[in-house]
Structure 1
């Protein structure tokens, strides 16, 4: 089932100047905002704490709702800032309950209608997992991944990453004492809310290290959104130099998009492997800060028919991972329009899983979720590529027209 919340609007003739939003900002960012409107330095720490609680714990969208803050300061804040979140332009619901939101970020200039990204919520019996994006498009070109066919537009800012969680909580009725917006899909069993975060949406998280780091700090703060770092997983295709800093600075769980056991094949499936081959990647994994049996690395392995699913490759996978506390997530390939790959047959996946399991590794086969709305692993791709191309054309035309004037000066 597909539900369009609103149709994409035509680009405005003139840029509408919006008040900058405080939603998604770090504590330092909130302090800077308070300084801008003249709040004394000695008062800012207390005010930051109040704003933090209202924005992230209660999810309020109007400053007037912040009853612990004086009316005068509330008025100042409302005059200069907003609490706006990205616009949900479409909301799709799978037959299995998975929800996919297409979100439009605020525009950054006269020819930017606002970048669009996708975010997916996956309800399960014991948890609710939110798959967030870290980039608009993707800097990588993994051949089996739909997102990889979309060029990179830009990194998401920390507040844009955090805003995905805030939108999800709002649309799921997951903020205390907050009425969900009209048209929101609120679970009626009372228990399928956001408990886990996975950075497995659009983009390579470790190529947006600072934005992801700051977003995780906000998401995991126990006075606000309160998602524990052990419930946050960052997935990388293998940006080796940033794996150690990820563990040292963020302390999250780590997932590796492996998908092959030979460099020759991984070079094709995950071209980043040409820069950081399997040997270097696994060495970085062995040295991951905090690695233990209680904090295992998840190795993701998409099952491609006749490509990487043989018994020999299963045994080589076991050999490669020897000594690394690990779980191996086998992912049935999720087809998308134009792909050249097919999903491995089910008995082949089970045989592969059995070899890995008998070697002592947990090897669950990930149940495909949201396939009917292209929300499954490797299927995310928004309309941003088309929109940004139009914007680039307009910008290029403006720059060409401006050249004679600049030259004349």
Structure 2
């Protein structure tokens, strides 16, 4: 299996190096290259014997992702179309933020395509292809670190795909990212964004790590949410709220709601009141999102004054709310836009 060796712990690598007749300390060196330094080639592992490296390359090939397209926004955001060994492609976004860009956040994909078919999402038009492996998720983090020449500080599973439909690989990737031997990203700086897959929420509540949870809500009116997000219509809002209450009680962690404001669709007074009712009794934060224009989409962004009104009203009800600043809008900012727009491009490797 391609990249199988990247999943080995130190004990397994000790067994492997022993089979090759190598001393035990070689396992630690190999572990540091694979897990700590995220090597993409055995040629990088210069403290390992050349013959040993050649044997590993033959028996345990390291398939690395390639960057098919890379665009840089005027605000510093970088967006990549990433191709894996089988030709499948996803998008990855890197956002330097903070007063001096001290934070570097990576929004990574968990699936190739997406089965959720959300009406406002460019990726939803593509359909589902396959799940990503844990290594394919962390490789997206590695390529950003190589491109920026600095460590990633924050992660969001909010690229292409529904993370909780690939739960086991997702958690493995998050633990790799959190490990002090690997990326060493604090669990509270790692967020999983879901359409509201209730079994996944319940399972995350039982995990020992303090990963954070964001829910793509987009409407607290059942009929509207079903139209916008048809694949979660079988998981009604009352059941979602019950699951979130359990999550908060179990973890004592706040839930974030992602709410895309769409002009004339979900930005009226009845929509605001429904959101207030849904948030009542929950430890939560509301992220209002600006709508990215997508070619061929009937949806348009709400005026800024509506967002200001919502933030003010939510605040009066003691619900913290913010308007997320649109980033990367000049480089096909919405997930799936850049990948879907590519035609006849050549590959470049980072």
Structure 2 length as normaliser, TM-score? 0.88
Q: Say whether the 8 Å CA contact 2:197–2:232 is kept in structure 1.
A: no
Select which of 334, 340, 357 maps to 2:292.
334
Task: Look up the match of 2:119.
Answer: 143
CA RMSD of the aligned region, Å? 2.8
Cα–Cα, structure 1 residues 50 and 29, in superposed 2: closer, same or farther, change >3 Å? closer
SS state of the match for residue 153, structure 1?
Answer: strand
Cα–Cα, structure 1 residues 90 and 81, in superposed 2: closer, same or farther, change >3 Å? same
Matched ranges for 1:61-76 at <5 A: 61-66=40-45, 69-70=48-49, 73-76=52-55
**Structure 1 unaligned residues grouped into runs of 5+:** 1-18, 108-113, 175-192, 388-409
Task: Look up the match of 2:129.
Answer: 153
SS state of the match for residue 273, structure 2?
Answer: helix
Task: Look up the match of 2:57.
Answer: 78
Task: Look up the match of 1:91.
Answer: 70
Q: Deviations over 1:225-253 (max 9, x none)?
A: 11121111001001111111123235410
Task: Look up the match of 2:34.
Answer: 55
C-alpha distance in 2 between matches for 1:167 and 1:151? 25
Q: Say whether the 8 Å CA contact 1:233–1:253 is kept in structure 2.
A: yes
Q: Which runs of 4+ in 1 moved over 6 A?
A: 384-387
Task: Look up the match of 1:21.
Answer: 3
Q: Say whether the 8 Å CA contact 1:85–1:167 is kept in structure 2.
A: no
Q: Deviations over 1:167-191 (max 9, x none)?
A: 11111112xxxxxxxxxxxxxxxxx
Cα–Cα, structure 1 residues 152 and 203, in superposed 2: closer, same or farther, change >3 Å? same
Select which of 135, 143, 161 maps to 1:203.
161
Q: Say whether the 8 Å CA contact 1:52–1:224 is kept in structure 2.
A: no
Q: Deviations over 1:108-157 (max 9, x none)?
A: xxxxxx10111000111241110000111001111011111111011111
Confirm whether residue 120 of structure 1 aligns to residue 93 of structure 2.
yes
What is the deviation of 1:259?
0.6
C-alpha distance in 1 between matches for 2:133 and 2:177? 14
Select which of 225, 228, 241 maps to 1:266.
225
Cα–Cα, structure 1 residues 357 and 291, in superposed 2: closer, same or farther, change >3 Å? farther
Task: Look up the match of 1:133.
Answer: 109
What is the deviation of 1:62?
3.8
What is the deviation of 1:78?
3.2
Figure out how many residues of one structure are paired with residues of the other and give that number: 339
SS state of the match for residue 135, structure 2?
Answer: helix
Task: Look up the match of 1:344.
Answer: 302
Select which of 170, 174, 179 maps to 1:212.
170
Larger Rg: 1
Cα–Cα, structure 1 residues 35 and 335, in superposed 2: closer, same or farther, change >3 Å? same
What is the deviation of 1:285?
0.8
Q: Say whether the 8 Å CA contact 2:81–2:338 is kept in structure 1.
A: no
Confirm whether residue 371 of structure 1 aligns to residue 347 of structure 2.
no
C-alpha distance in 2 between matches for 1:67 and 1:153? 38
**Structure 2 unaligned residues grouped into runs of 5+:** 345-350
Select which of 231, 240, 243 maps to 1:284.
243
SS state of the match for residue 304, structure 1?
Answer: coil
Confirm whether residue 241 of structure 1 aligns to residue 220 of structure 2.
no
